[in-house]
Amino acid sequence: MEHSLTRRTLLAAGLASCLLAFSATAALAATEPYDTPGTTQTGLVPPSPPAAPSPGPSISGSPQVGGVLTGSRGSWASDTSLSSRWLRCNVGASTCETTGDTDLSYNVTPADTGLVIKLRVKGTRSSALGGTATRTADAQTPTIAPASVPGSPPSNVRPPTIQGSVRAGELLTASPGQWTGTAPITFGYAWASCAAPTAASCVARSSARTYRPVAADVGRFLALGVVATNQAGNKGALVFSAAVGKPAARAKALKRLRPFPVVLIGGRVAGRVTTVTRIRLRHLPRGARVSTSCSGRGCPYRRSSSVLRRGSTIRLRRLEGRLAAGLTVVITVRKGNTLGKYTRLRFRRGLAPARVDRCVAPKSPKPVSCR
């Protein structure tokens, strides 16, 4: 009985020693790193570095002082976390310092002049066991240029002028003169009425480019000020007119020709051609001069003029017939110092001729109002 108890005690002690030894070995194994090729005994398993981005980082914007740069981090694998920062580097990019900016927008400052700005993007991958691996990619600007020079301010090389008759009631127009400087140049105007051709004792009149002197300006001098402005600044110039004169005496109004002629036209339109069947002038005074002209391609003649020995009615047969669209016929009837008759016919495609009836002054080719 005693021998059997001793054997059981020894067996239990042996089993306890084996269990202690196994526990100690297991505890040691739990404190040592999982050892695989490419790792150290004290580190965790790192993943492979992120693949290079494609496309890589880029910078857009104006690389000069005052400009704004915008960065793009490029295209990376989806399991890559990204961060970025801006660096200020020498031209060779061998020495860089951080600007402190980490977003994707950067305002170029005077401190960046002559340097290059670099956007550095860091991609990070993490493993399931806690290891990390990184890759960086850069983009950089050309050498930063200084702030743009605003250009040269305006400079007057030929003074302004006042165009028109310097009389009360007459319309005057300001001409800015000739200026040099960075384009574009804009102009402002100011008119004043002065007791003398100096900048003193003046009364402001208008800020428009044109001015019509009033009765209160008679005997005074008009000052015209012109201010030229561009992106670099502004400059003014001042000129004076002669003394403002009294209103010009009105010329005696011309009377209309009596009897006043009437132009009659008849025909039909077909496409581009108008067939004129008659052109008659009625109520023509004796001694009146009838002039006709035709312009455009296909005119039967260019000009004709004759004086009527007797009045009544005449027919312009040379203008009758087929007349093409685009032709213009002008008919005038004049006599002495009176307002004569003016009619213009412009032939159109598919439409009746466009007609203008007015008066014409003696020795003037331009039509005027009949009033």
| Integer Cα distance of 88 and 361 in angstroms | 79
pLDDT-above-70 percentage for the chain: 87
**Looking at residue 311, what is its pLDDT?**
72
Q: Which residues pair with 86 in a beta bridge?
A: 119
Q: Are 190 and 181 in contact (CB under 8 A)?
A: no
Residue 18: the pLDDT is: 38
CATH class entry, domain 155-243:
mainly beta
* pLDDT attached to residue 43: 55
pTM for this model (two decimals) = 0.39
Q: Determine if residue 75 is left, alpha or beta; phi over 0 gives left, psi from -120 to 50 gives alpha, anything else beta.
A: beta
CA distance 192 to 238: 11
pLDDT of residue 364: 85
pLDDT on residue 324 = 94
pLDDT of 4 above 50: no
Residues 302-341: tens digit of each pLDDT: 999 999 988 789 999 999 999 999 999 999 999 999 999 9
Stretch 153-172: mean pLDDT, rounded? 95
In this structure, are residues 181 and 154 in contact, taking their beta carbons and an 8 Å threshold?
yes
Q: What is the second-level CATH architecture of the domain 58-140?
A: Sandwich (2.60)
Position with higher pLDDT, 50 vs 191 = 191
Stretch 209-230: mean pLDDT, rounded? Answer: 96
Q: Which of 239, 210, 212 is nearest to 223 (CA)?
A: 239
In the chain, what percentage of residues exceed pLDDT 90? 71
What are the tens digits of pLDDT across the range 33-70?
323 333 333 456 678 899 999 999 999 998 999 899 99
Q: Which residues of 23-42 are buried (b: 16+ CB within 10 A; e: fewer)?
A: eeeeeeeeeeeeeeeeeeee
| pLDDT > 90? residue 288 | yes
Position 251 scores a pLDDT of 61
User: pLDDT grade, residue 30 (50/70/90)?
Assistant: very low
Question: What does the pLDDT look like over 75-132, one tens digit per residue?
Answer: 999 889 999 999 999 988 789 999 999 999 999 999 999 999 999 999 999 887 778 8
Residues 193-217: tens digit of each pLDDT: 999 998 888 999 999 999 999 999 9
Residue 233 has pLDDT above 70, yes or no: yes
